[in-house]
Amino acid sequence: MSFLVKKLLFASIFNSCLFMLLFIGIQNSSNKSKVDLLIDETIELPISFIMGSSFIFGSFLGSFVVFNMDNEK
């Protein structure tokens, strides 16, 4: 299995586990807010869910970045 596939598989599993822990952690959250999207607004969601899911989504998208650190010319 190539390095890129292993990296994406690990990122998917890790971020899925974080997402499940996020659901467990926000059970008693009472501060709710709406997110204003370009087209419409979302339903009222806990602020911790909005922040946590944006962090997890950014972490997953960041795993697609490939750095080529070879300095060969």
Measured CA to CA, the distance from residue 53 to residue 20 in angstroms comes to 10
pLDDT the model gives residue 13 = 92
Using one digit for the tens of pLDDT, what is the confidence trace for 51-68?
888 888 898 888 877 666
| Rounded average pLDDT over 64-73 | 66
For residues 35 and 42, is the Cβ–Cβ distance under 8 A?
yes
In the predicted structure, residue 73 carries a pLDDT above the cut 60: no
